[in-house]
Structure 1
Amino acid sequence: MAERASERLLRLLGMITYLDRHQGVPVEQVAEHFRVSPRQVIEDVDTLWMTGTPGYYPHDLIDFDAASYEAGVVRLTESRGMTRPLRLGTREAVALVAALRAMQEAMGPTLDTERAQVLASALEKLTAATGEAAASVDVRLAVDGAPHVVATIGAALQQGRRLRLRYVNASDVASEREVDPLRLVTSDERSYLLAWCLRADGERLFRVDRVLEAEVLEVPVAQHVVRADAEEFRPDASGGLVTLHLGSQARWVAESVPVEEVRNLPDGSFEVDLRVGNQAWLRHLVLRVADDVLDVRPPEVAHAVAAAARDALAAYGPLASGA
């Protein structure tokens, strides 16, 4: 799956701090620490080498020891102040207080005692440092889903017990399955339960608002090894491969939709490959970016989207003529 720019930015910033604290680290060790390939580490270092503070002359750039780099060792020699302690302005501190309170509101009941104490301590110290400005922050954020379902999931996570779920998927097909809950995951719009599904014998993300019923079982959860990126949504590999050729104004698609590959083209446009299991979702996406669509492959997908657009226009016809 293609990596989002925000994900790479976080890794690049983390890499500077890591290398500042560990002078002279083999490329393979850096790759293992950040769970990426050695090739990706080299690409990241090459990017950082051309990054720095305004001015962007050689003495303004982040720098590495070239001799060590040629020997397969990454040695940071100039961080350009990227590792200095963060100094927050009032607005930034208030935003962080709001984020921590939202986390405490949404995930507090599911955290173990140690993590809950760390979260509470950080929030208390930051609130005290922010002063009166923090008093104006009032956050109410709840995990989306039926209250009794959310409460049951929280209880299972706290007790370390297996869950029996009645779940409806994106195709509106309901099923019953037993899962070992691992943790709650929140995104910008949705809340998910990351769990080990016994039926699939692997980790799965379940949208909490699609859980119809949840029951805590007496069976304790088993130990499972999950992927480092298990919290990221991945389309079903059995879904058909679709390629969209889009204009530059639709760049958000590559950043916000799970795509397998992105190919930037010389004219500024780009292509994305997607695995699609739900054709209705695909039609909605293509119609949403219709003004920036240059090509769709395979052709039958383009024909289906065009038919959906014609049907929509036909449905609006009588309304438009009667206006």
Structure 2
Amino acid sequence: MSDKRLSDSRRGDKGVAPPGSARTAPETATQRLGRLLAMVPWLLRHQGVSIEEAALEFGVTPAQVESDLELLFLCGTPGYTHAELIDAQWDDGHIYLANADDIAAPMRLTRDEAVTLTAGLQALSSILVNSEIAERTLAKLRRATTAADPGGGQIALDLDDGSQHAVMTQLKEAVATRRRVHLTYYVATRDETTERDVDIMRIVNLDGQWYLEGWCHRAQAVRFFRVDRIEAATVLDVDGAPPREATPRDLSDEIFVPSESDLTVVLEASPRAAWIADYYPNEGVVRSQDGSLQVTMRVADPALVRRLVLRLGGDARVVSPPEIAEAVAEEARAALAAYDDAG
């Protein structure tokens, strides 16, 4: 290492912003790594650039650039001898970089990363009405992975059993042609499958879940429908323009607003039944270290709670209100008695 580097490494002002500048939060290792990865190809393309100009380019102080160069001087490809390490020179105030072509080469996706991106793009393109951008990006990703691994073939994923794809195909057609759609829809809060005609207003993703918002002719009001609970969809030969009074909901508000008459129920669930906190709308969840949880729900029909707890077969119990807990126990005793009578 040159005398210049040794003297700079002993200075206490390295990486310190100029006097009078605003103090910022300490830089993380991830932030610095990102800058270094961007700095190497830039310096290779701008041989002889001044330290001040490089500092301006990357939004740091000249002292920070010198600190980064000292770190780059210790980086390279496996082997880490003089022949593999990056050669960085800046003694005269101008930066010259060599032996860094491998690090400057464009980063490639690993196969796992490519699979993850492919899955996300396929899911996105299947739900969007105008999915050309997602499909073009997916095609580029597949070509890139094939070029990087000629013997591996293109990545294609089967994301579902075909039922949801059929539903989404119908919903996309209804939106594109402005037609009404007939839905067979499962209402989880009532444990009931319903039939209804809907004029679609939009399809949105909220908190990782896809919803259809539209004018429901059964309810004569705007309703949200979870796409994964639509069991079947059929495009009708009827105009699907919503009525004038159909106003999209402000998505900054909660999607499901419980009624004042709804019953507040507290359930305790084992780790095997913890999925209910994600599947059913709730007012709050308290999780324990062992994976069990206590979830507070607002329900319009207590029958939903009774059926849910009985179906879970001992993995959940009603904490409150006591009358619901007793109703569940009574139904369980009646079911056991029916088995005894059958024997």
Q: With structure 1 as the length reference, what TM-score do the two structures score?
A: 0.54
* 1:202 equivalent in structure 2: 222
Distance 1:175 1:101 in 2: 29
Output the amino acid matched with 1:153. L
* 1:144 equivalent in structure 2: 163
Q: Greater shift after overlay, 261-270 or 309-318?
A: 261-270
Output the amino acid matched with 1:100. L
Output the amino acid matched with 2:297. L
The structure, 1 or 2, with the larger RCO (C-alpha pairs under 8 Å, 6+ apart) is 1
Q: Greater shift after overlay, 239-248 or 259-268?
A: 259-268
1:274 is displaced (CA, Å) by 0.1
Output the amino acid matched with 2:142. T
* 1:97 equivalent in structure 2: 118
- 1:77/1:126 CA distance change after superposition, 3 Å: farther
Aligned partner of 2:314 among 283, 287, 290: 290
Task: Let me know the Cα RMSD of the aligned residues.
Answer: 4.5
Per residue, is there more helix in 1 or in 2? Answer: 1
- 1:243/1:215 CA distance change after superposition, 3 Å: same
Query: Is the Cα contact below 8 Å between 1:249 and 1:292 reproduced in 2?
Result: no
- 1:278/1:141 CA distance change after superposition, 3 Å: same
Output the amino acid matched with 1:273. T
For residues 85-104 of structure 1, the C-alpha deviation after alignment (integer angstroms, 9 at most, x for no partner) is 99743223223223423443
Matches within 5 A, 1:106-145: 106-107=126-127, 111-112=129-130, 116-131=131-146, 132=149, 133=152, 135=154, 137-139=156-158, 141=160, 144=163
- 1:309/1:146 CA distance change after superposition, 3 Å: farther
Aligned partner of 1:244 among 240, 252, 267: 267
For residues 32-80 of structure 1, the C-alpha deviation after alignment (integer angstroms, 9 at most, x for no partner) is xxxxxxxxxxxxxxxxxxxxxxxxxxxxxxxxxxxx9xxxxxx765344
1:257 is displaced (CA, Å) by 3.3
Distance 1:289 1:269 in 2: 15
The secondary structure found in structure 1 opposite 2:30 is coil
Matched residues, number: 237
Matches within 5 A, 1:148-187: 151-159=169-177, 161-163=178-180, 165=182, 167=184, 170=187, 171=190, 172=192, 174=194, 176-183=196-203
Q: Which has the larger radius of gyration?
A: 2
1:162 is displaced (CA, Å) by 4.8
The secondary structure found in structure 1 opposite 2:265 is strand
- For structure 2, the 5+ residue unaligned runs are 1-21, 38-106
Query: Is the Cα contact below 8 Å between 1:260 and 1:275 reproduced in 2?
Result: yes
- For structure 1, the 5+ residue unaligned runs are 1-67, 69-74
The percent identity for this pair of structures is 25
Output the amino acid matched with 2:200. D
1:163 is displaced (CA, Å) by 1.6
Query: Is the Cα contact below 8 Å between 1:197 and 1:204 reproduced in 2?
Result: no
Q: Greater shift after overlay, 120-129 or 87-96?
A: 87-96
The secondary structure found in structure 2 opposite 1:290 is coil
Q: Greater shift after overlay, 125-134 or 165-174?
A: 165-174
